[in-house]
Structure 1
Amino acid sequence: MMKKLQFFIVLFVLCNTGVSLGQERLVNKGNEKYEEYSFRPAIDIYKRVIEKGYVSAEILKKLGNSYYFNADYKEAAETFKKLVAEYKDSVIAEDYFKYAQTLKSLGDYKESKEVMKEFTALTFNDRRASSYKDDRDFMKEIKENSGRYVITPFKYNTPYSEFAPTYYKEGLIFSSDRDTGNFARYRHTWNSKDFLDLYKVDTDSISSNKVLKLGENINTRLHESTSVTTKDGETLYFTRNNIIEGKYVKDEKGIIRLKIFRAEMINGVWSNVEELPFNSNAYSVAHPTLSPDEKTLYFASDMPGTFGNSDIFMVEINDDRTFGTPKNLGSNINTEARETFPFVTSDEKLYFSSDGHPGLGGLDIFATKINRKDFTGTVINIGEPANSNNDDFTFIFDEENREGYLASNREGGLGFDDIYKFKETKPLVFDCMQKVTGTVRDKISNEVLVGATIKVINEENEELASTITDSKGTYNLILDCNKGNFVRALMEGYVPFEEYIGVSDGKPKIIDFYLERDRITAGFGDDLAKLLQLSTIYFDFDKYDIRKDSEIEVEKVIAAMEKYPSLRLKVNSHTDSRGPAAYNLWLSQKRAAATVNYMVSKGISKDRLVSEGYGETKLINECADGIKCSAAKHDLNRRSEFIILE
């Protein structure tokens, strides 16, 4: 479908080609039209050349591109198919990408996916390829985001093109090639349609007679398109062809570029029309929209620093109405393809159109949060029916009443491009919240640490949140999983430790921290078992093999010895007074030796350990032979000690 909007999408300038001498003149004429973005005449010429039997890879590429930029995806797909089949060695990654996009627009998602495999195989460090290589099921994600809008046709559509709606007072300003008053010689050769003008309408009016042109100070004999006004209705930013004092200006390639202009409302008339200072005769600047505070202008351009065919940029508006330096929004939003038609809501959500992010075909509408001018959030395809297999663009949205407008060249429309009104029935989920829980423990003793501080630090080393562990040593956090963050555990007397959590799918995550003490105050004769708060090391009755439930306590001692290589220990074993004294002495010696042997088997050098059994000779309470004591009191005497020798 031939589309007026396609004139406003910035493109790479492609190289010339030629065929046999007999057709060289005709092909050169086609190349000339192609490089002027006069795609409709170029299509006619290339078709004539091919019909005469002269075909080359370059001719097919340019014919396919000409169809592609006119949104004639059926013809584009057939042309790219022939290119791939007959000139595979000449096909580059960008050819495969356009071919895959045309197939999606025709609903052939299976074949499109196969073509994208060819595209990814030829690319390196390409955002579009990376999106497909990570094996995400984008069609499933798009389906999950679908069904959020009820869409109805704009009652002021005509059989011509209507698109680029923007809010203005109680109604809209939009662009159309309806009654331009131009003769055929003023038609644009991109798509052989009339040039566009800006119109305004009160959206609650009953009669289409309310649709009025903005006036001769705004509209010219060339294109006027996408626009935005300040909330007070006193300032208008709009897109126009490069025209100075009534005369259009071409670049060195013969292209009339796009520029953004600003006008003031004076006594009911748009006046003082001026172009913005970062415009250029060498590249296009178009599709303005304002931030909620009206201090930032967003726009699309192919200026230097652009990743693809067109990117979205921002520029600060100073208090004196001058401008800062334009900045690219970055590779999270912009790809090597087309990003264009930005719109920012009152809640700082950026909506834009792209054919570089995974979509349904053609231009799709995407959204992302940009709070505090952070452009790293997840980019969401807003799904059907807002998006279709064709081009969907110029999305605007009033978050207060959950209504808005968009334009599309989808099937069933009245004109070439039509405006649609929509009602949002279910909000998009922008916030990806991830629950992170865990426990903080002493690395050696494994005891929980109560009151430890857990902080969330972003990639700019800014603290975002903080909490402390409870009586069980546990903590709970909620993180934004659209961003990477560090979770840091701190406790007085311990070395801080942190773990990085990258962008994720939001599934709950458990992170347990084991903190090392920054120092251990101990010396000759101290019992390491007390310092480490070890539990009782038990042995089975009448046996001296270490039980499985006691191994963990000995492992803590091993960990300490591994951390401090100069540490030497004496392992002492004690029993209670029950049983013969001689037997208890023998058993305690065997148990002490068994403990040392276990530690040696785990890699501790034998010359760092000695052992001794004391039986019942060093009781710590009154429970000697002949004294009646409870089992609990007897248990206190059954103990192991790890005495520091060095």
Structure 2
Amino acid sequence: MNRHLLIFLITITFFSCKNNTVLYFNQELPSTTPKLFAPTIVNTDNVELNVVFNSDHTEMFFSRIVDSSFVIHHSELNNGKWSDIEPIKMYDDSVLFSVACDPTITKDGKAMYFLGVDPKLYNNNVTREELYTIPPDIYKSEKVNGKWELASKVDFLVSTEYFETYPVVTADGSLYFRSNRPNNKGGMQTYRAQYLGDEKFETPVIVDIKTKNKELITYVSADERYAITNGQGKFQITFNENGEWTKPKEIPLKYESNWRYYCPYMSSDEKFFIYSRRYNNPEKKGWAGVEKGEVYWVNADILFNMK
């Protein structure tokens, strides 16, 4: 090989790798062994969960429990540098305790859906334990002139009096989510609501997954080519083949006991699988007993090599 060509290729590879690490807060990129995502930046002594990026990888979001509230935080990439981590205000000043987590960003980066709890339902007069039992809904915030606006509840066909969780928005604006609303299958199901435009959705329909273990979709790719499910305390992957979802296959991670694995996401370039896990006090159930929450990432080859 020509010496000058070799030097050129080495230089290009070096700067490509360097730029890639900048995209991820200058971290060393993970192999097929999971590692903590952005220690001291995202992962701290607080409980953190659900890291997600916008489609052009210029804004990163995650949730952190602060003073008993779930608060969405973000950072923006400008001129090759990430801004300081800042919370996003989703409710007005009268709200003392709040729930805002599991963000998902539209393709144009101008709208965010997330899991929220209606502040008016409890009038700031509940304990932390009671707050976490109130049925959550799906909320939406819009980015106007570079700032995320206060959120409002989504279309009543999506947000109901029942539980709605894990919203995921697709490239065409449609929503996948979980709900325990009355249905002919019983219990919690995955739903898809086709986006009609002008903030309107068609009536959500159940997504049929070929499973016997009650795996439910918690992430779907923007083009709906594949989805990641949760079931039996582990992650699975299912692929969309001619409009039908394949039987979910377990994603091979080292699942540790007493930890709950949840909030699966993919990086916007689909090179990395990002997920959360939390440790519960064995004597307490649910979020009230969570003592530690962490976000991990791993090379996505462990997913796509399974197809």
Query: What is the TM-score with the length of structure 1 in the denominator?
Result: 0.35
Asked if the contact 2:50–2:263 (Cα under 8 Å) also holds between the matched residues in 1, the reply is yes
Instruction: Tell me the equivalent position of 2:101.
Output: 225
**Alignment partner of 2:189 out of 286, 311, 321:** 311
2:164 is matched with which residue: 260, 275, 285? 285
Which has more strand, going by share of residues? 2
- 2:48 equivalent in structure 1: 162
Q: Distance in 1 between matches of 2:141 and 2:194?
A: 18
1:341 to 195, 202, 218: 218
**Alignment partner, residue 396 of structure 1:** 265
Distance 1:275 1:198 in 2: 16
1:296: how far off?
2.0
Instruction: Report the Cα distance in structure 2 between the residues aligned to 1:408 and 1:384, rounded to whole angstroms.
Output: 12
Counterpart Cα distance in 1 of 2:79 and 2:114: 24
- Are residues 1:301 and 2:179 paired? yes
Asked if 2 retains the 8 angstrom alpha-carbon contact of 1:316 and 1:326, the reply is yes
Q: CA deviation at 1:217?
A: 4.0
Give me the whole-angstrom Cα distance separating, in 2, the residues matched to 1:153 and 1:205: 25
Contact 1:310 1:338 survives alignment (8 Å): no
In structure 2, the partner of 1:149 is 32
Report sequence identity in percent.
13
Q: CA RMSD in A?
A: 3.7
Larger Rg: 1
Q: Which residue of 2 aligns with 1:369?
A: 239
Aligned to 2:14: none
Alpha-carbon distance, 1:268 to partner: 2.2
Aligned length: 255
Q: 1:283 to 1:216 in 2, by over 3 A?
A: closer
- 1:393–1:406 Cα contact (<8 Å) kept: yes
Q: Decide which of 414, 422, 432 is 2:298's aligned counterpart.
A: 422
The residue that corresponds to 1:380 in the other structure is: 249
2:228 corresponds to 1:351: yes
Aligned letter for 2:235? Answer: I
1:212-611 matches, within 5 Å, as 212-217=86-91, 220=95, 221-244=97-120, 247=123, 256-271=134-149, 273-276=151-154, 277-279=156-158, 282-291=161-170, 293-305=171-183, 307=185, 309-330=187-208, 332-333=210-211, 335=213, 337=214, 339=216, 341-344=218-221, 346=223, 348-355=225-232, 363-375=233-245, 377-385=246-254, 387-389=255-257, 390-398=259-267, 400=269, 402-409=271-278, 416-429=292-305, 431=307
Distance 1:367 1:427, change over 3 A: closer
For residue 313 of structure 1, report the CA deviation from its aligned partner. Answer: 1.1
Change (3 A) 1:379 1:409: same
Structure 1 residue 290, shift from structure 2 partner:
1.7
AA aligned opposite 2:165: A
Q: 1:315 to 1:166 in 2, by over 3 A?
A: same
Task: Point out where structure 2 has 5 or more consecutive residues left out of the alignment.
Answer: 1-30, 281-290
Q: Tell me: CA distance 1:200–1:339, structure 2 relative to 1, closer, same or farther (3 Å).
A: same
1:416 aligned counterpart, secondary structure: strand
Partner of 1:211: 85
How much does 1:305 deviate?
1.5
Q: Deviations over 1:336-366 (max 9, x none)?
A: x5635333254611012122xxxxxxx2111
Q: Per-residue deviation at 1:379?
A: 0.8
Q: Are 2:237 and 2:303, in contact at CA under 8 Å, matched by a contact in 1?
A: no
- d(CA) in 1 for partners of 2:160 and 2:223? 33
Q: 1:308 to 1:416 in 2, by over 3 A?
A: farther
CA separation of 1:270/1:243 partners in 2, compared to 1, >3 Å: closer, same or farther? same
8 Å CA contact 1:165, 1:175 repeated in 2:
yes
1:174 to 39, 62, 65: 62
CA distance in 2, matches of 1:364, 1:222: 28
* Residues in 2 aligned to 1:373 and 1:260: alpha-carbon distance in whole angstroms: 26
How far apart, in 2, do the equivalents of 1:338 and 1:410 lie?
Answer: 21
Question: Could you tell me how far apart the structure 1 residues matched to 2:79 and 2:234 are?
Answer: 30
Q: Structure 1: give runs of 5+ residues left out of the alignment.
A: 1-147, 183-193, 356-362, 432-646
- SS class of match (2:200): coil
- Higher relative CO (Cα under 8 Å, sequence separation at least 6) belongs to 2
How far apart are 1:384 and its partner, in Å?
Answer: 1.6
